[in-house]
Chain A
Amino acid sequence: MSWLLRRNMLPLHSNSLARRPFASPLPLPPASLPSPRETHIWYVVPDELKDASLLYQYMELLSPCERQSVLRMNGERLQKGALLARALVRTTLARYTDGRLSPKSFKFQKNRFGKPEVEWDKYDLWAPPPLQFNISHTSTMIACGVTLDLPIGIDIEEKQRKTSNNILSLAHRYFSPVEVAYLKTLADPECRQSEFIRLWTLKEAYVKALGRGFSGTPFKDFTIRLEASNSKQVTGELKSDAPSIVVEAVDDPGILMNRWQFALFELNNSHYTAVCMERDVKNPADGENNSLKLEVWRTLPFVEDECVTETDAVKNIIR
């Protein structure tokens, strides 16, 4: 943490030194567990962190191994981002344990393909909730998605992200033929740019949900697209549902992989966000509504949490 000292971010006044780094963090408000079709998303905006002593509090939560990884990042900005990401994962998961587990106590392991997951201890009188999580970051936002016992993938990209290479070159190289054809129908370059980014986040979220890595689930082998829903009959009236996001194997077009459901939306007016979650077959939905539900919070751990689900911070949702 010498960079904190070098850059004069460490508070020099003796009272503030006495007050902050050794003060115990405010307890995290507990959160209710996600329901079977729900993804909870907690996101942090690094630029909102103005208090350097918070970085100390976050650093305290990390394992020695995580601390080393943070310090291996090249430069202060990347180190701060890496630190926030770990702090976000730990504090988010802790919220769902009803105060029984502190953020610091979590242990993590990787599945055989390298996907991070929680390593739960065995407790005598309490079964920890089988939480699954996934994170994504850009330099301006870090997001953590949580589900109850269902594989999840999340990806965020800045809406303004520009690619160095031509969109169609990238698409030809990495996307499926159906996806390339779709992008080609978009004449407006800006529209094509944003659709490329949105499709990228969906494909990333799917790969991350599967947990087999980029090489285990090559982008070219699957298509993500909108499927028009059939009109449904509800109480005698014809009701057509909005199109839904589906995934199919390139080798097996028309056979939709219904196991996976998606949501695509804009977060904080700055990021396209895609979530992919396994459908819960143990708890089949009654009636029409079996689409992925979202609950979203903006957070600065130990400082403030704000539920933004029904606000302007979460908009243009496609499922």
Chain B
Amino acid sequence: MAAVSATSIRFGSTFRTASWSSNQTGGRISNVKLVSMGISKRILPSLRSPHFHICCAAKPETVEKVCEVVKKQLALKDEIVLTPDSKFSALGADSLDTVEIVMGLEEQFGITVEEDNSQNITTIQEAADLIEKLVQQKAEA
């Protein structure tokens, strides 16, 4: 675990100088939250994404919005605690729920998710990451 925390601290400091520098106050607070919350867990197992970059990790506000959409769609009671690593399948989402969640997120964020991308979303964090990527792509277009 010591090795993991060391990694997280290292990435944490990189975050402060990365794309969030424009969001000074919010950025610093969110950096601290992410590092302690679980960003360290995400760094190691991202084998699925060959293009993993630090700047693709989603902001906490995005993660929270995703949680809201998911909670609403699955009618989750308040005592169910959602974390970024929460898997949709473990929350009882079937395929119709998943497409409804995707459509709900598209509406919230003003994006379009391609069919093959939507299959890679299995957790809250993955949904948030994809959203931020699409929002950024849209802004750049």
Residues of A within 8 A of B (CB): 72-75, 78, 81, 137-139, 157, 161, 163-165, 169-170, 173-174, 200, 204, 213-215, 218, 220
Contact = CB atoms under 8 A, between A and B. Distances in A.
A137 B92 CA distance: 10
B91 interface: yes
A199 to B, nearest CB: 11
A305 B71 CA distance: 36
Given A164-B73, A165-B103, A215-B115, A74 B96 contact: no
Interface residues of B, number: 19
Contacts of B60: none
Does more than half of chain B's interface fall in helix, strand or loop, or is it mixed? helix
A174 B100 contact: no
Contacts of B115: 215, 218, 220
Interface in B47-101: 72-73, 79-80, 86-87, 90-92, 94-96, 99-100
Contact of B103 (A72, A75, A170, A213): A170
A157 B96 contact: yes
20 contacts: A72-B87, A72-B90, A73-B92, A74-B80, A74-B86, A74-B90, A75-B80, A78-B90, A78-B92, A161-B96, A164-B72, A164-B100, A165-B100, A165-B103, A169-B103, A170-B99, A170-B103, A174-B99, A214-B119, A215-B116
Interface of B: 72-73, 79-80, 86-87, 90-92, 94-96, 99-100, 103-104, 115-116, 119
Contacts of B91: 74, 78
A170 B92 contact: no
A204 B97 CA distance: 13
A170 B95 CA distance: 13
